[in-house]
Amino acid sequence: MLKLTGPCCHCRHFYISAKSWQQSSSNLGQDHEVNRSQFEAEFVSSHIETNVFQKALLSVGSAAVSILDPSRGDMIAVLGETAGQSAMKYMLHKMEDHPEGQEILRKRPRINSKTVDLSKLKQMPEDTLGKMYWNFLNKNKVTPDSRLTVQFVDNVDLGYVLQRYREVHDLTHTLLGMPTNMLGEVTVKWVEALQTRLPMCVGGALFGPLRLGPKQRQKYVKYYLPWAIRTGSMSEFLMNVYFEKRWEQSIEELYRELNIIPLVVAPM
């Protein structure tokens, strides 16, 4: 019986290791394909076919309702889908031009309670993105499962971009240190409007301040608005951040990488 000795053993070990790596890579590739297939299946099942006239009608109606009642998240979602075609294309191109954005588009990851281990995030150090995201969800009593599925976008790539925008919205709040009250939402909308050009973000940034109280409006004009404009204009494109791979990253390190200077508000 032939016995493997010396260098041949190392060759055999290398062969087994290489084979294991290939199998692991193959499994990762299969996982990514599953992600893509799952989104495409969900996209097809939820898609509602509409013509140009119907989209225009939906845009006008949803815009009117959104202005009168900003709490109507369903109408804000419809506005983004029916009037945001050029903005979605802009976002898609920005992601295609960035390595991390390309990876997101290729793998089509989702952010919900099935894909994110919230219990693991809870155990992370306080200064990590993961723990800060968990703190945000817990404090504001929100869940990553609350985002509506895209319905009126006809292109699957654009549909994913808009779905991704919705699913990272709470992470944008977390990153910017903004609460979910009106002042926080308006501030986030300014950053998102400048970065994404989505119509509902632009509308929220322009009309949202009308609902602020006197004290909030004073803070908004003096601190929040200038900071939001600076952050939206000067920071890295936040849609290119693969948040799921950065849970353990220090928030200070992430700020430096994304060119974000945290807001400091003096007592008034």
185 is in an annotated binding site: yes
pLDDT recorded at residue 166: 96
- What is the distance between the alpha carbons of residues 213 and 69, in angstroms, rounded to a whole number? 16
Closest CA to 239 of 187, 196, 188, 186: 196
**Does some domain include residue 32?**
no
Helix (H) or strand (E) segment spanning residue 103? helix 99-107
pLDDT band at 40 (very low <50, low <70, confident <90, very high): confident
Burial class of residue 69, CB neighbours in 10 A (0-12, 13-18, 19+): exposed
Give the amino acid at 61.
Answer: G
Closest CA to 87 of 187, 158, 181: 158
Mean pLDDT of 50-60: 87
Mean pLDDT of 214-230: 96
CB 88 within 8 A of CB 204: no
**Does some domain include residue 19?**
no
Provide the token pair at 209. Answer: 């301040």
- What is the distance between the alpha carbons of residues 33 and 127, in angstroms, rounded to a whole number? 33
**Does some domain include residue 209?**
yes
pLDDT band at 14 (very low <50, low <70, confident <90, very high): very low
Residue with tokens 């190392």: 10
**Does some domain include residue 237?**
yes
Mean pLDDT of 195-204: 94
For the chain, percent of residues with pLDDT exceeding 90: 62
pLDDT recorded at residue 179: 94
117 is in an annotated binding site: no
| Cβ neighbours for 52, distance < 8 A, ≥ 6 positions apart | none
- What is the distance between the alpha carbons of residues 37 and 110, in angstroms, rounded to a whole number? 12
Q: Which domain holds residue 117?
A: 86-258
**Does some domain include residue 29?**
no
**Does some domain include residue 171?**
yes
Q: Beta-carbon neighbour count of residue 32 at 10 Å?
A: 15
Question: What total number of domains does the chain contain?
Answer: 1
As a whole number, the mean pLDDT across the chain is 86
pLDDT recorded at residue 30: 55
- What is the distance between the alpha carbons of residues 45 and 156, in angstroms, rounded to a whole number? 12
169 is in an annotated binding site: yes
**Does some domain include residue 54?**
no
**Does some domain include residue 80?**
no
Q: Is the pLDDT of residue 266 over 80?
A: no
Terminal Cα distance for the chain, rounded: 87
pLDDT recorded at residue 16: 36
Least confident of 26-30, 34-38, 184-188: 26-30
Give the amino acid at 250.
Answer: S
Burial class of residue 125, CB neighbours in 10 A (0-12, 13-18, 19+): exposed
Q: Is the pLDDT of residue 127 over 90?
A: yes
58 vs 120, residue with greater confidence: 120
Mean pLDDT of 120-149: 94
98 is in an annotated binding site: no
69 vs 49, residue with greater confidence: 49
- What is the distance between the alpha carbons of residues 168 and 95, in angstroms, rounded to a whole number? 14
Return the HEC string of 118-165.
HHHHHCCCCCEHHHHHHHHHHHHCCCCCCCCCCCCCCCHHHHHHHHHH
18 vs 54, residue with greater confidence: 54
